Structure 1
Amino acid sequence: AVAQSPLATGLRVMAAVLLIVMGLYLAGWWSGLTHIERLGRGLWRYVQPL
């Protein structure tokens, strides 16, 4: 089943880490997410017009 695949497990772990990082960012305890936001800006320039 899909729920037991290594890919699904990896995606769940990534989602959990992202939620924790977002919580730390919103609480003001860690600002590392700003680096990811900066990387996303370049991508957003191409995606936004779509």
Structure 2
Amino acid sequence: MIRKLKSGQYRIYSKKVDPETHKRKNLGTFDSLDAAKKHEKEIQYFKHH
């Protein structure tokens, strides 16, 4: 899940909520939406291979 921050950057959050903190994990912050989408694809690839 990618969200835009007030600073103009984009942050990737996990899809599942962390049971301890009841929040989503921060998986990285990027300056551009394209960079965030690319990294999210890499995360999905890594999770399934």
Structure 1 length-normalised TM = 0.36
Greater relative CO, 1 or 2 (CA 8 Å, sep 6+): 2
Task: Point out the structure with max Rg over C-alpha.
Answer: 1
Structure whose residues are more often strand by fraction: 2
Structure whose residues are more often helix by fraction: 1
Structure 2 length-normalised TM = 0.36
